[in-house]
Amino acid sequence: MSAHPGVRYLSPAGHWWATMTATLRSQLFIDTTYLISIIRQPLGGAIFFLLMWITYQASGQSVVAGTSAAGFLLIGQVGVEAWGSTIWASGYAIQHERSLGTIGALFLSPASRVAVILGYGVSGFLWSLPSLLVLLILGLIAGARFAVADPLAVLAALVAVYGGSLAVGFAFASAFILSRRGNLIANALQTPIHLLAGFLVPRSSLPEVFQAISNVIPAAHSIDALRASTLNGASLGDIWPSLAATLATSLGFVVIGAWGLRRVEFAARRSGSLELY
């Protein structure tokens, strides 16, 4: 394969892992070169939390779905952050590479596209951690109180929130290959998803048809699990149906993403639109 006798190659698994971590590192480095991004990242989530909290206060609702409005919104905001950071990071991965003109080189390499997109997604997750800390402080000030009985349940639910969002972002990545304006689709879907997934209002308060639609969103189930484990002391045994639903719906999006990536890459190679921006 190589004219150079000294070049050694990693195993397929090693290549996959190295691609994912190298993408993660590169994107984190690139993101943190902009001071304005570092400041803006936690500020956006905090302002949105305060806006929703004031809205609940103004309407006289201090208790939502059996818990404090601050606690309900704080956990919902974790969903918003997870959605925002992972969907945009992983879904936007392709468009970002297009804008840089690196997508040709990326697709010419034998690296796994999934590993690259996951690297973007995980960097988005790490990038959202300061926001979560700021939200936690704000939530506590606003009156959120936790009742954790099973820390493992909280961890599992948190992983499910991010994992589920990542799966949807992965499915979106192919839309970004298919259309150079895939971000408009993601933009249009963002607020409806926030509502349907129960980030801002309880899913039980939505019209029945919307409740049915919300069942296909992984984050809708994982947010239920996170609220139950952090605010109501639910154990792993209590939340497993929500975790199972998250896993099942996430797998659906992963399958759509893997199929879509292969199909749209082929379609883009056929139409000659892969590198266009």
Partner 1 sequence: MTSSHQQANAIVAERLHRVYAKKGRWLRSQGEVVAVEEISFAVPTGTIFGLLGPNGAGKTTTIKMLSTLLLPTSGSATVGGHDIVRDERQVRRQLGVVLGGDRGLYDKLSARDNLVYFGTLYGMDAPSIKRRANEVLELVKLQDRAAERVEGFSRGMKQRLHLAKSLIHDPPILILDEPTIGLDPNAAVDLREAIAALVPDHTVLLTTHYMHEADLLCREIAIVDHGRIVARGTPREVKGLVAEDRRIEITINQALDGTAATIEREIATLPGVRGASREVLETGETRFTILCAEPTLTLDGALAALRAHGVAVSAVEVAEPTLEDAFLAITGRSFE
Residues in contact with partner 1 by CB under 8 A are 1-4, 6-10, 14-15, 18-19, 22-23, 26, 29-30, 33, 100-102, 104-111, 116, 266, 269-272, 274-275
How far is CA 71 from each of CA 46, 55, 268, rounded to the nearest angstrom? 14, 14, 46
Least distance to partner 1 from the beta carbon of 266, Å?
Answer: 8
Asked whether the beta carbons of 185 and 179 are under 8 A apart, the reply is yes
Least distance to partner 1 from the beta carbon of 106, Å?
Answer: 7
Least distance to partner 1 from the beta carbon of 127, Å?
Answer: 15
Whose Cβ is closer to partner 1: residue 210's or residue 266's? 266
Query: How many C-beta atoms surround the C-beta of residue 14 within 10 A?
Result: 10
Give the span between the Cα atoms of 166 and 122, in whole angstroms: 8
Least distance to partner 1 from the beta carbon of 99, Å?
Answer: 8
Whose Cβ is closer to partner 1: residue 55's or residue 102's? 102
Can you spell out the DSSP letters for 110-124?
A: -S-HHHHHHHHHHHH
Least distance to partner 1 from the beta carbon of 42, Å?
Answer: 21
| Amino acid of residue 50 | L
Whose Cβ is closer to partner 1: residue 160's or residue 274's? 274
Whose Cβ is closer to partner 1: residue 26's or residue 187's? 26
HSE-CB at 262 with a 13 A cutoff on CA atoms is: 5
Give the span between the Cα atoms of 112 and 126, in whole angstroms: 21
Whose Cβ is closer to partner 1: residue 26's or residue 191's? 26
